[in-house]
Amino acid sequence: MGKRILVTGGAGFLGSHLCERLLQDGHDVICLDNFYTGRKDNIVHLMDHRFFELMRHDVTFPLYVEVDEIYNLACPASPIHYQFDPVQTTKTSVHGAINMLGLAKRTKAKIFQASTSEVYGDPEMHPQTEDYRGNVNPIGPRACYDEGKRCAETLFFDYHRQHRLNIRVARIFNTYGPRMLPNDGRVVSNFIVQALKGRDITIYGKGSQTRSFCYVDDLVDGIIRLMNAPDDVTGPINLGNPVEFTIMDLAKMVIELTGAKSQLVFKPLPEDDPMQRQPNIEKAKKLLGWQPSVALRQGLEKTIAYFESELSKGRF
């Protein structure tokens, strides 16, 4: 028999894929979202499923439902969105964690926190392992997200120690795929949208900074494996693709796959933008038997096809 599972941020890019997978696995899913960055289009195909329920709710307010498991994904995750209302971003991470941990404590539910590679800041260690404590600017423009997520991790481990809560924490690295927002300011969606619209592709800095890109299906598999791991596997565990690409490599691949005639335009690097970001996933390999299987070219082809479909419907 399936579990009753709450997914906060369930109408977002990552949350909608997770809801879909949990339904496929036979669970009863409550999708919770305030639709700040989530979209009904992402979950409309699930609405008629008899084990799917949608709730419009903001995690900064308490919630009273009966559940077996909670996946806490609620928080805008792209710089454009989380910097638009930085106070609310911090509240979503901190108050949201407190409210969901309180719900888990009351219902004795297992709870997962979607943390982020941003807790490492602009790293002085490469690649990043889970015991690296990071290089974060606590008063910079990205701090609302970076420090909010760091505080959420603190709360999760304090609830674990103080209340014996069954927790899981994943530090998620760059993830891409269908249902990304076209205007979210992330590099994959930016490049694809610019290429499909025949615009020049904007590169910040020299394009030599590196990122590691994980396809969404791989990431969802890692999240579920972590949630289903033995109770002593709390994390934090890095989830991401360790294969590193420069931003320039990505731009050239997008131009090739879209057949665009876009030129490259260079602009100054934003403040506190990390130069390197690559996960060490040895812990995930050892404890979860997990590693990504979708190559960047293969994942980009699927993502481009999604954006082409959205463009043909006039959605951006």
Residues annotated as catalytic (active site), given as ranges? 145
Sheet holding 52-56, edge to edge: 52-56, 28-33, 4-8, 69-72, 110-116, 167-172, 237-239
Q: What is the CA radius of gyration of the chain?
A: 19
Distance CA 125, CA 202 (A): 28
99-102 long-range contacts (CB < 8 A, ≥24 apart) are 99/59, 99/60, 99/61, 99/62, 99/63, 100/8, 100/59, 100/63, 100/70, 100/72, 101/155, 101/156, 101/159, 101/165, 102/62
Supply 51's token pair.
């084990």
Distance CA 284, CA 290 (A): 6
DSSP-assigned states of every residue in 113-151:
EEEEGGGGBS-SSSSBPTT---B--TTSTTHHHHHHHHH
Q: Which of 259, 272, 270, 241 is nearest to 304 (CA)?
A: 259
In the numeric block, the tokens 């106070």 are attached to 87
| Residue 313: CB atoms within 10 Å | 8
Are the C-beta atoms of 97 and 31 separated by less than 8 Å? no
Distance CA 144, CA 148 (A): 6
